[in-house]
Structure 1
């Protein structure tokens, strides 16, 4: 895949949004989504949910389907937010959704607003992990939970790209791998307890017949999925 232009995420999703499906649309996303939904409570009635980096709104719709009282979707890309709004247009519960443009490192939401915060496959677009995790913590109530996923760093090491086609040309969105050790250190500093870590694998049934892909992907985890809990008080100062 050498020679493919690597774009800033805002630029990439401006191009990608027109054809970006409103659901998990490739084997990696389906593996990641199975893991995330396995951790997401089946009953969210009475719960306010934040979906940070909501993209086309797939987790917004999952939260609504599980009865969430209010869902706040935030994404940096106005084009992807428009895609999410279009996908929600025929959903009866769409009146319980607020979509707003914003950065993962500066979410335009008040403190302590959500009992459940979601962030699917977005933090890898950022160079640094801790500022985004700090914002996810800030908007989550003390004792609340955060479900957060990223492409597994193993894939990045093997040269996999988050690529797409637009106007007949192939592009990729910039992605920075964040190791488990990065997550552990950031969570410790921020006062986030790591309760569960999943490393989902591909399901061969999701791979279309005749698909061209790295066969090593069948033997490796393709995503990192974290269940975090916000502790009342973050640890002071940097780690030694």
Structure 2
């Protein structure tokens, strides 16, 4: 169980913004504005509400509610991660590709268009149903990343996109990737970065019982991926950490170019939607998120 308070998030952003100013990125006027804004936020604490609790969900429970809307436009992370992953896939010869944690088939459909024979694995039946509709020729099975329901040495490529942040331990997952890949095969991995450095904010969503729940969203250092990949015989062929767009949010508190307005505040007694809070402090939000990585994207090759 977690408890998220809107004032805690807002003051956290103000604090990061002030630390960046302390390091020389912003001037005296900026600091004065942030301190005044903090006083105003403290005066409005009751107006912002108390926030609320959320219970931990499994990935299958969380993605059940996301499946219908996951592919809607306007997701900054998908818009930045997708082209980088596709550029890496374009470098590889076609063959058998496993899309591990395939979700709605974003990458599976691209692989099929490229001529790969696609096998998708995901824990969510709802996400798999969307993927099957996109890639009728693909084979899609329900399964876990730490126990892929696939034979040894059967794949030329494994793709795992934006899923490992939900996994508590990378070691068994990378061992599975190595098991299903043929020697010389490639592994393309993307993972989200925490919004504020190593702070992987939990993703709050409505659970199956209708109450707020959250999915863990870890932000790992690059060394953690290397520590599990290298002993298994993987060698690094590419690593990239794209930065968040600047400005992170516009004057209205939403990402530039994003469809629609900021969402309304969450009901009292529930965790806040952080995107509804950004309009209250857009300058601090931009300063806090400035220059932070949005994702990490790897291409490994299995050499043994």
TM-score (norm 2): 0.65
Indicate yes or no: 2:96 matched with 1:55.
Answer: no
Contact 1:200 1:222 in 2 (8 A): yes
Give 1:174 deviation, angstroms: 1.8
Contact 2:195 2:289 in 1 (8 A): no
Give 1:142 deviation, angstroms: 0.3
Change in 2 beyond 3 A, CA 1:135/1:67: same
Indicate yes or no: 2:296 matched with 1:224.
Answer: yes
Give 1:202 deviation, angstroms: 3.1
> Per the alignment, in what secondary structure is the counterpart of residue 39 of structure 1?
helix
Q: Match for residue 208 of structure 1?
A: 257
Give unmatched runs, 5+ long, in structure 2.
6-51, 248-254, 263-274, 279-284
Contact 1:43 1:66 in 2 (8 A): no
Which range moves more in the overlay, 134-143 or 77-86? 77-86
Alignment of 1:76-91 (within 5 A): 76-88=123-135
Q: Residues 111-144 of structure 1: CA distance to partner in whole angstroms, max 9, x if unpaired?
A: 1111111000111111001111111111111011
Give 1:34 deviation, angstroms: 1.9
Give unmatched runs, 5+ long, in structure 1.
89-93, 233-240
Alignment of 1:116-195 (within 5 A): 116-153=157-194, 155=196, 157-158=198-199, 160-164=201-205, 171-195=213-237
Larger Rg: 2
Change in 2 beyond 3 A, CA 1:133/1:63: same
Contact 2:62 2:206 in 1 (8 A): no
The separation in 2 between residues aligned to 1:113 and 1:83, in whole angstroms, is 25
Change in 2 beyond 3 A, CA 1:149/1:72: same
The separation in 1 between residues aligned to 2:205 and 2:93, in whole angstroms, is 34
User: In structure 1, which of residues 60, 64, 71 is the aligned counterpart of residue 118 of structure 2?
Assistant: 71
Change in 2 beyond 3 A, CA 1:155/1:103: farther
Give 1:20 deviation, angstroms: 2.5
Give the alignment's Cα RMSD to 1 decimal.
2.6
Give 1:169 deviation, angstroms: 7.0
The separation in 2 between residues aligned to 1:108 and 1:24, in whole angstroms, is 32
Contact 1:112 1:141 in 2 (8 A): yes
The separation in 2 between residues aligned to 1:30 and 1:170, in whole angstroms, is 27
Q: Match for residue 238 of structure 1?
A: none
Change in 2 beyond 3 A, CA 1:177/1:77: same
Give 1:99 deviation, angstroms: 0.3
Q: Match for residue 145 of structure 2?
A: 104
